[in-house]
């Protein structure tokens, strides 16, 4: 197997565990014990345990944000990916509320990444959150019941699988 194939397989596993399955407690297991993690808004973390504590706490508060993979590129040990961070529209007649993100990963071997750096549109995040909370309030907190959340999650999973199938 080539290095880039190994890196791509590790990326698929990492992305699927965290951003598709939203298993944030298990996601850091795709990082090295001594990972160097740079999150441009929340700061720099060192070590898998620090990343696990941060991401599990954050995603309890931000469980309403879901990552949608747009594209990725694998070059040597590096993966660069573009995503949309998505709030599902409470009103089915309205479009999803997205803001952009970009991640750089560096593969360390054995299926693990030893470096991650995340960038996202902070102004877009603020605007998206304001729109999302206003819409939820407008519809009385409803909109994702009767199987709609499960349908949206299935659509998001299928979109990721399509990006994986085309190889980025």
pLDDT of residue 149: 87
The tokens describing 131, both together, are 């729109």
Q: Which residues contact 30 (CB under 8 A, 6 or more apart)?
A: 10, 13, 14, 17, 18, 111, 112, 113
pLDDT of residue 140: 81
pLDDT of residue 144: 76
pLDDT of residue 92: 85
- pTM value surpassing 0.85: yes
CATH architecture of 3-165: Roll (3.10)
| Residues paired with residue 37 on neighbouring β-strands, in sequence order | 45, 116
d(CA 137, CA 11) in angstroms, rounded, equals: 37
d(CA 95, CA 121) in angstroms, rounded, equals: 19
pLDDT of residue 145: 81
- Per domain, the residue ranges of the chain are 3-165
Burial class (CB in 10 A: 0-12, 13-18, 19+), 6: middle
Stretch (H or E) spanning 135: helix 122-138
User: Is residue 160 within 8 Å of residue 69, measured between CB atoms?
Assistant: yes
Mean pLDDT per 10-residue segment, the chain (168 residues): 95 97 97 96 94 94 92 98 94 92 98 97 95 88 80 93 94
């Amino acid at each position: 197997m080539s290095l880039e194939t190994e890196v791509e397989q590790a990326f698929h596993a990492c992305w699927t565990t965290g951003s598709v399955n939203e298993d944030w407690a298990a996601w850091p297991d795709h990082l090295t014990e001594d990972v160097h993690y740079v999150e441009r808004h929340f700061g720099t973390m060192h070590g898998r345990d620090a990343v696990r504590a941060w991401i599990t706490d954050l995603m309890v508060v931000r469980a309403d944000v879901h990552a949608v993979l747009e594209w990725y590129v694998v070059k040597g040990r590096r993966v660069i990916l573009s995503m949309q961070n998505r709030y599902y529209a409470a009103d089915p007649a309205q479009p999803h509320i997205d803001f952009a993100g970009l991640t750089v990963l560096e593969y360390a071997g054995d299926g693990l990444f030893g470096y991650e750096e995340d960038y996202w549109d902070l102004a877009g995040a603020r605007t998206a959150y304001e729109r999302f909370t206003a819409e939820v309030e407008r519809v009385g907190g409803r909109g994702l019941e009767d199987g709609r959340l499960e349908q949206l999650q299935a659509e998001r999973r299928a979109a990721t699988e399509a990006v994986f199938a085309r190889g980025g």
